Amino acid sequence: MCQSVSAIRHLLRQAEYLISVHNRSQLPPDRGREVAIAGRSNAGKSSLINRLCHRKSLARTSRTPGRTRQLVFFRLDEDRHLVDLPGYGFARVGGDLKRHWKGLIQGYLEKRQALAGLVIVMDVRHPLKEGDVELANWAGSRGLPLHLVLTKADKLGRGKQNEALLWVRKQVDPEVGVQLFSATNGQGLAELEAVMSNWLLERPDQPAGRSDSPGQ
Ligand SMILES: Nc1nc2c(ncn2[C@@H]2O[C@H](COP(=O)(O)OP(=O)(O)OP(=O)(O)O)[C@@H](O)[C@H]2O)c(=O)[nH]1
Ligand SMILES: [Mg+2]
């Protein structure tokens, strides 16, 4: 096995719940590297984290949309974290709470120096919906490394999966990674591990992946 693959697997398997952040003041110190997992409510973010870390119930999953309401930090080691972001696009959440979430997520994404990359998780049957496009464009304009995951691939046959993959690839910039995934059967896991390895393990002497000038 390639060394970086075994290193990232080892790191991800060490994941432990650290803290659920409701307010910016509760954020852990802004150092090291972290990868944030974003997406619409019920897209499959928490399930993806569990699969990636080889754990059944590290991140809480639910059939009820809007389950993850805070920024949930998982510690991989002293200097590396995964962050499960609250899902957007959940209609039943009222105005004030929605604004609070948006402010919390936006503030985190804008200011966090440790943020090495952003994964946007989308249901393969409903990709690039409202919120996804906004967030992807925003990440692009900030030079934040972005990777799009089309999850629940097990819900479609191979032909339809590939159709969705090609369609999404056509809609986004060529440097943005796009992949199929299934938390249920592990499809696409190795591809996602490689992205995590790039973002969390490469150039450990360098600061996180965000470039200083927009558009780079
Ligand atoms: N078939 C299938 N179901 C999935 C997959 N990933 C997630 N699910 C299901 O989709 C539902 C939502 O999954 P979660 O992981 O809780 O989604 P989330 O994006 O974290 O949701 P919020 O925290 O509410 O924003 C659950 O019923 C999961 O079991 C997958 O790859 N395949
Ligand atoms: Mg969740």
In ligand 1, the atom with minimum distance to the C-alpha of 41 is 25
**Nearest bound ligand to CA 64?**
1
Phi then psi dihedrals of residue 191, to 5 deg: -65, -45
pLDDT of 12 higher than 70: yes
The listed CATH number (1.10.287.1060, 3.40.50.300, 3.30.420.40, 3.40.640.10) that belongs to domain 3-200: 3.40.50.300
Distance 27 CA to ligand 1 centre (A): 25
pLDDT given for residue 63 in this prediction = 63
Q: What does the DSSP 8-state code read for residue 209?
A: S
pLDDT given for residue 94 in this prediction = 62
Closest-CA residue, ligand 1 atom 8, reads 44
Indicate if ligand 1 lies below 6 Å from the C-beta of 41.
yes
Distance 171 CA to ligand 1 centre (A): 24
- Band the pLDDT of 213: cuts 50, 70, 90: very low
* pLDDT 10s digits, 101-159: 778 888 899 999 999 999 999 999 999 998 899 899 989 888 999 999 999 999 999 99
Q: Where are the alpha helices (DSSP H) in 16-171?
A: 45-52, 95-111, 132-142, 158-171
The mean pLDDT of 76-85, rounded to a whole number, is: 95
pLDDT of 58 higher than 50: yes
DSSP-assigned letters across all residues of 176-202: SEEEE--TTT-TTHHHHHHHHHHHHTS
Indicate if ligand 1 lies below 6 Å from the C-beta of 42.
yes
The model's pTM is 0.91
Residues 144 and 210: their CA atoms lie apart, in Å, by: 5
Three-class SS state of 76 = strand
The residue ranking higher by pLDDT, 73 or 57, is 73
Closest-CA residue, ligand 1 atom 12, reads 42
pLDDT of 14 higher than 70: yes
Indicate if ligand 1 lies below 6 Å from the C-beta of 131.
no
